[in-house]
Structure 1
Amino acid sequence: MELKNAVAVVTGANRGLGRHLAVQLVGRGAKVYGAVRRPETMEVPGVIPLQLDVLDEVSVQEAARAASDATLLINNAGISTGATLMRGDVAEVRREMETNFIGPLTATRAFAPVIEGNGGGAVLNVLSALSWFHPAALGSYAASKAAAWALTGATRDELAPRGIAVSALHVGYMGTDMAADVPADQKVAAADVATQALHGIETGLPEILADETSRYVKQGLSAAPRPNAG
């Protein structure tokens, strides 16, 4: 997909990876909507603020009507609560699943007809190495990203006949607020991840593995599960 003159909607574009994606898209000549819950926080030069709350279907539908020229949707908005599946607050588990899985699903359902009507384009889902690796301490987050990986594969097949390519971006730790407590030498720069993501969209990659962690975890998918204790 050619990004020059593309019309992109980036959810969660006011900070972190989303902000880098928005900045770089503008630099490549795209028109960019920064889709955020509070438009007044969207201060990236050249980016059009767009009110969108991924937990509110009405908000998403209204955003799709407002950005009626969109050809690219980047589902970047997400949360990590740190909840475990056995001991974590079920409300937090539910909120994580609704934000990281139902949110991208709702946005994709709303924007797919728009993108199709504009001649086709692409959807990028920002996922994680934890789509494939599921540590107990991050069970809720991993489950939500695993669900989003399944969403990506299923919608890729469903939307291909409509001229819409669907890709997944996988990364371990990035230099963002979500990984603030992780040592710097274990993190990849968010700007570098954004560059790889946009290159992947341009070249039509179905999966974009942005760091060594995601490549290592992906290679291990064929390994046998660990035996149950006991």
Structure 2
Amino acid sequence: MDLKQAVVLVTGGNRGIGKALVAEAVARGARKVYAAARDPRTVTAPGVHALALDVTDPGSVRRAAEQTGDVTVLINNAGIYVGASLLTGDLAEVRREFETNFYGPIAVTRAFVPQLLAGGGGRIVNVHSALSWVAFGQSYSATKAALWSASDAVRLELAPQGIGVTGLHVGYVDTDMAAAVDAPKISPEAVAAQVFDAVEQDRDEVLADDTSRGAKQSLSADPAQRYAAMAG
């Protein structure tokens, strides 16, 4: 893909990884960049189009699609962390996390795929997590595992129509969401650079750090070994 001809939309484009993705798209010369957020006034990046979008609100998703029409690269980045116990946590909070992290990207993808098709194809990027593959995040991990599986399903469905799907897996990123975590973190800028490398090279997966690479390798281990390691 030639990013200089691309029109990029980033959900959750006002902070964290999303803000870095917006800046990277601008730096690489994308033809147009939409930074979507629930409150577009929080989008401060120069040279971008701020767009009101709440991924959990069907009306907001529909209006955002109506206000654009030219998107060729869709990045489903918006997400929240609740991390509730699936057994004892507040079920309303678990549902809220799924509405944002799973159903949100599905709804946005359904709304914007017609634009990608009208442009002759394009690429969707879904922000998964290393926690798609390990259960430390409890309900959060479940939402990201579901999105990982959905990305595979959507990839198979859209490939014959010229639309690719890239999944980003990454561990702790140096953003507000992980501010309280005392562990090695990758910068959001380094993540964004790897994402757009993958977009330009039409790659389907980004393993952005050692944590995500190790998590993927663990999938081939015996389940008893995997869960013993997580319990430890």
**What is the TM-score of this pair, normalised by structure 2?**
0.95
Taking the aligned partners of 2:88 and 2:179, their CA distance within structure 1 comes to 24
2:128 is the counterpart of 1:127: yes
**Equivalence for 1:90:** 91
- Distance apart, 1:204 and its partner CA: 1.2
**Equivalence for 1:165:** 164
**Equivalence for 2:148:** 149
**Equivalence for 1:213:** 211
Letter in structure 1 aligned against 2:184: Q
Deviations 1:148-176, CA, capped at 9 Å, x for gaps? 00110000001111111001000000001
Equivalent residue runs for 1:65-80 within 5 Å = 65-80=66-81
2:194 is the counterpart of 1:196: yes
Letter in structure 2 aligned against 1:199: D
Letter in structure 2 aligned against 1:36: A
Equivalent residue runs for 1:1-150 within 5 Å = 1-30=1-30, 31-135=32-136, 138-150=137-149
Deviations 1:182-206, CA, capped at 9 Å, x for gaps? 12x5111110011001101111111
- Distance apart, 1:29 and its partner CA: 1.1
Instruction: Tell me the matched-pair count.
Output: 226
Taking the aligned partners of 2:4 and 2:210, their CA distance within structure 1 comes to 29
Q: Which runs of 4+ in 1 moved over 6 A?
A: none
SS state at 1:77 partner:
coil
Taking the aligned partners of 2:7 and 2:41, their CA distance within structure 1 comes to 21
Letter in structure 2 aligned against 1:14: N
Deviations 1:85-126, CA, capped at 9 Å, x for gaps? 111100110001110000000000000011110111000001
Taking the aligned partners of 1:159 and 1:82, their CA distance within structure 2 comes to 31
Give the CA RMSD over aligned residues: 1.3
| Percent of residue pairs bearing the same amino acid type | 54
Taking the aligned partners of 1:181 and 1:112, their CA distance within structure 2 comes to 37
Taking the aligned partners of 2:78 and 2:138, their CA distance within structure 1 comes to 19
Taking the aligned partners of 1:88 and 1:201, their CA distance within structure 2 comes to 37
Taking the aligned partners of 1:118 and 1:66, their CA distance within structure 2 comes to 16
- Distance apart, 1:5 and its partner CA: 2.4
Letter in structure 2 aligned against 1:105: I
**What is the TM-score of this pair, normalised by structure 1?**
0.95
Taking the aligned partners of 2:160 and 2:65, their CA distance within structure 1 comes to 21
2:171 is the counterpart of 1:178: no
Taking the aligned partners of 2:141 and 2:151, their CA distance within structure 1 comes to 15
- Distance apart, 1:82 and its partner CA: 2.4
- Distance apart, 1:4 and its partner CA: 1.2
- Distance apart, 1:63 and its partner CA: 0.7
Taking the aligned partners of 2:47 and 2:148, their CA distance within structure 1 comes to 31
